Amino acid sequence: MIKNKSIYILGIESSCDDTSASVICNGKILSNVVATQEIHAKYGGVVPELASRAHQQNIVPVIQQAIQQANIDKKDLNAIAFTRGPGLMGSLLVGTSFAKSLSLALDIPLIAVNHMQGHVLAHFIEDESMQKPPFPFLCLTISGGHTQIVKITNYFTMEVLGETLDDAVGEAYDKSAKILGLPYPGGPLVDKYAKLGNAKAFKFTKPKVDGLNFSFSGLKTGILYFIQKKVKENPNFIEENLNDICASIQYTIVKILFDKLKKAVEETEINHIAIAGGVSANSEIRKVLKSYEASLGWTTYIPKFEFTTDNAGMIAIVGYLKYLENNFSNTSTTATARLKVNDN
């Protein structure tokens, strides 16, 4: 039956500032096109109104390109999966409305996908370079909007063990970068300069948060006051110490993340550990995680770079897994700005 058949799913992602479309066949990526909206860089962060407009401009060419690159005809598609939430309402509405119209036009089923589940389940994309984690496993989901430790018992059974009480870790990176005068999104730049610096050059206070929760807003304020003080003493302080500042910020952020992750492993006794989300592209996080295989006996699962930041491949794989379970939605499904990881 289904097993011998080729199932083609089109995934559509438009929750924030990336317009993306992907075609997968039986869980294997045939195309994964991402149009990143450059317009936000000059505003130092995502401007929701501009994001919706850019999605409107990008969505048709991005989907056309995804179908073309997959070398299929749109009539070959079996279903359309789209991001229902969480995200920016105006952005979500563009993808949601387009997905509904296309499913009606092609007369194929519609599948609503939770973006957070997409980040986690990207690990199940069929790809030779990736190993699939066995259940149960823990996932550290770290992005511009989220910081969570999630226990995954089954594809669609997820429990948040801890999460940020204020800023997400990606925001901590981006806001720190902004303080240093770096363009948005600053996370990758902090990562780049940190590689050249001394992580012990400056010390930043780590937050004291109970349990497995996180907090990053205090760190951001601490960095701001530190930089203001130093720049007053020496106006060239940032330029002269950029690598060391970035390395020290990165060291602090990584320590905060791994202290909690180690605690989660101790408490759950689960040592299959995955990372997901845009910040999981970070080189130091990948390095430290990998080192715990030898030192702590963890088995780690690091997604391919292109599946970490927002992309429609991760939406398409959730679509495929739901397709196999006949878990379809319909045109009355609405975009939802706030969704928990366990909301299906």
Which member of 13, 127, 174, 244 binds ligand KG4 (CB under 6 A)? Answer: 174
Give the chain's count of helices (H) and strands (E).
Answer: 9, 10
Is 163 exposed, middle or buried, given 0-12, 13-18 or 19+ CB atoms closer than 10 A?
Answer: middle
Judge whether 14 and 310 are in contact, CB under 8 Å: no
Segment lying near ligand KG4 (by CB under 6 A), choices 184-192, 210-218, 232-240, 297-305: 184-192
197 in contact with ligand KG4 (CB under 6 A): no
Please state whether the peptide bond connecting residue 188 to the residue before it is cis, i.e. omega within 30 degrees of 0.
no
Segment lying near ligand KG4 (by CB under 6 A), choices 54-62, 153-161, 169-177, 222-230: 169-177
User: Nearest residue by C-beta to ligand KG4?
Assistant: 278
Here's the x/- map for ligand KG4, 310-339, by CB under 6 A: it reads as: x-----------------------------
Distance CA 278, CA 309 (A): 4
Handedness of CA 296, 124, 97, 158 (dihedral sign): negative
Report residue 128 as tokens: 């030779």
Q: How far is CA 249 from the centre of its chain?
A: 21
282 in contact with ligand KG4 (CB under 6 A): yes
Which member of 143, 213, 241, 248 binds ligand KG4 (CB under 6 A)? Answer: 143
Report residue 237 as tokens: 């302080």
Judge whether 191 and 250 are in contact, CB under 8 Å: yes
Amino acid (one-letter) located at 337: A
Indicate which of Zn ion, ligand KG4, none lies near residue 281 (CB less than 5 to 8 Å, by partner kind). Answer: ligand KG4
CA-closest candidate to residue 87, choices 115, 110, 117: 115
Residue 211: Cβ within 10 Å count: 11
Residue nearer to ligand KG4 on the CB measure, 108 or 281: 281
Which member of 155, 173, 214, 216 binds ligand KG4 (CB under 6 A)? Answer: 173
Q: How far is CA 111 from the centre of its chain?
A: 20
Residues 6+ positions from 228 with CB-CB distance below 8 Å: none
Which member of 9, 10, 12, 16 binds ligand KG4 (CB under 6 A)? Answer: 16
Segment lying near ligand KG4 (by CB under 6 A), choices 231-239, 261-269, 279-287, 323-331: 279-287
CA-closest candidate to residue 55, choices 16, 7, 102, 112: 16
302 in contact with ligand KG4 (CB under 6 A): no
Indicate which of Zn ion, ligand KG4, none lies near residue 109 (CB less than 5 to 8 Å, by partner kind). Answer: none
Segment lying near ligand KG4 (by CB under 6 A), choices 69-77, 106-114, 166-174, 213-221: 166-174
Collapsing DSSP states into helix, strand and coil, what is residue 132? coil
* Biggest alpha carbon–alpha carbon distance for the chain: 72
Segment lying near ligand KG4 (by CB under 6 A), choices 77-85, 101-109, 152-160, 276-284: 276-284
Residue nearer to ligand KG4 on the CB measure, 127 or 310: 310
Which member of 54, 191, 242, 252 binds ligand KG4 (CB under 6 A)? Answer: 191
Question: What dihedral do alpha carbons 109, 110, 115, 116 form, nearest 10°?
Answer: -50
Binding site for Zn ion (CB under 5 A): 143, 310
Indicate which of ligand KG4, Zn ion, none lies near residue 191 (CB less than 5 to 8 Å, by partner kind). Answer: ligand KG4
For residue 75, the 8-state DSSP code is G
278 in contact with ligand KG4 (CB under 6 A): yes
46 in contact with ligand KG4 (CB under 6 A): no
120 in contact with ligand KG4 (CB under 6 A): no
CB of 290 to ligand KG4, least distance (A): 15
216 in contact with ligand KG4 (CB under 6 A): no
- Which residues does residue 300 pair with via DSSP β-bridges, in sequence order? 273
Binding-site ranges for ligand KG4 (CB under 6 A): 16, 143-145, 170, 173-174, 185, 187-188, 191, 277-279, 281-282, 309-310
